[in-house]
Amino acid sequence: MFNQLYREKSKVSIFVAIFFVSWASIFIRFAQSPPVVTAFWRLFLSVLFLVPLLLIKNVRLHFSTILQLKYMKFFFISGFFLALHFFTWFQSLEYTTVAISVLVVNTSPVWVIILSFLLFKEKINKIQILGVLFTFIGMILISWTYFSGEFSSNLIVGVVLALIGANMVAAYFIIGRRMRANYTVPNIPYVFFVNLYSSIFLLIFSLILGNNIIDFPIIDLVWFILLALGPSLLGHAMFTYAMKQLSARTVSLAVIGETIGASFLSWIILGESLSPIIGIAGSFILSGIALNVIYESEG
């Protein structure tokens, strides 16, 4: 009875998580600060909001067990790729629509398959190849809208930036998966240190680009806080909770829900509509993601 109750709660948490993460691109669009500054504050505030949890004895014990170099080097590398992911994805939203940006950046499960095959010789099945093919067809259709003149020349810049972001978060996922395969790492310390290192890298990127991280419109603080609390903490925390009772396949497929949710919100709030070609491209890409995620979980 209790297992069934927890399972039902986990199903609800998936929808709650999708709701929170779907708002990320909208909050980013509302922020007037440079994308890299917005990304820095999202990650840095998410770290600050985790600090009060150190008052809990069990959480402190979890932190004490991983204060070792073998863990920190993984956190450092993961934080670097996560920073590059946010840096490029946030920037892509300056050049293209929310729907296209989120659609492309959420192809990360497909790139995990490709990179794992190229770097670690992990097996790839015919179903995964079909999923990759569907994804590339969708990407070609999106590119075709640029060459046909349906969108401005900025579209291709936004797509490339989102694509880089997808590959960076794919590398982040691969590192995290391999780390957890070799070590037992509690979730809160993992999120804390990876986000901490990521925010440090984003600070460095900001300084290199000449951006002042403390000189921003006061209203942006609202969007920074909402990004940290909603998508970063509550959204991902709900996904983590769901994984205790539901399959990794079910949770991973939530990326499709985020794409649909963000596209719907951008249509309602920002007035961004989808053209028929983008709709067809999205269907191919989401189908490709679904095939790869389902096979990976079952294989």
pLDDT (0 to 100) of residue 26? 95
pLDDT (0 to 100) of residue 299? 46
Residue 263, CA distances (Å) to 25, 137, 267, 271, 279 in order: 9, 20, 6, 10, 11
Q: Output 245 or 222, whichever has higher pLDDT.
A: 222
* Predicted TM-score of the model (pTM): 0.87
**pLDDT per residue as tens digits for the range 10-53:** 667 778 888 899 999 999 999 999 999 999 999 999 999 999 99
- CA separation for the pair 257, 237 (Å, rounded): 16
| Band of pLDDT at residue 243, cut at 50, 70 and 90 | low
Q: What is the DSSP-derived secondary structure letter of residue 273?
A: P
Q: Output 44 or 288, whichever has higher pLDDT.
A: 44
The arithmetic mean of pLDDT across residues 263-277, rounded, is 87
pLDDT (0 to 100) of residue 195? 92
Q: What is the DSSP-derived secondary structure letter of residue 225?
A: H
| Band of pLDDT at residue 246, cut at 50, 70 and 90 | low
pLDDT (0 to 100) of residue 193? 92
CB count within 10 Å of CB 219 equals 11
The arithmetic mean of pLDDT across residues 138-161, rounded, is 77
| Band of pLDDT at residue 70, cut at 50, 70 and 90 | confident
- CA separation for the pair 273, 37 (Å, rounded): 28
- Residue type, position 197, single letter: Y
**pLDDT per residue as tens digits for the range 163-213:** 999 999 989 888 877 776 677 777 788 889 999 999 999 999 999 999 999
pLDDT (0 to 100) of residue 36? 96
Instruction: Examine the pLDDT at 227 and tell me if it is beyond 60.
Output: yes
Q: Output 99 or 187, whichever has higher pLDDT.
A: 99
The arithmetic mean of pLDDT across residues 226-254, rounded, is 74
pLDDT (0 to 100) of residue 152? 64
pLDDT (0 to 100) of residue 88? 97
**pLDDT above 70: percentage of residues in the chain:** 87
The arithmetic mean of pLDDT across residues 243-255, rounded, is 63
Four-residue CA torsion sign, 84, 174, 155, 195: negative
Start-to-end C-alpha separation, the chain: 30
**pLDDT above 90: percentage of residues in the chain:** 40
pLDDT (0 to 100) of residue 6? 57
Q: Which residues contact 178 (CB under 8 A, 6 or more apart)?
A: none
Return phi, psi of residue 215, to 5°.
-105, 85
- CA separation for the pair 221, 73 (Å, rounded): 31
Residue from 169, 226, 208, 197 nearest 38 by CA: 226
Return phi, psi of residue 184, to 5°.
-95, 110
Least confident of 80-84, 213-217, 281-285: 281-285
pLDDT (0 to 100) of residue 142? 82
Residue 198, CA distances (Å) to 164, 169, 270, 287 in order: 16, 12, 29, 31
The arithmetic mean of pLDDT across residues 101-125, rounded, is 85
Least confident of 4-13, 123-132, 191-200, 211-220: 4-13
Q: Which residues contact 262 (CB under 8 A, 6 or more apart)?
A: 22, 23, 24, 25, 26, 98, 99, 102
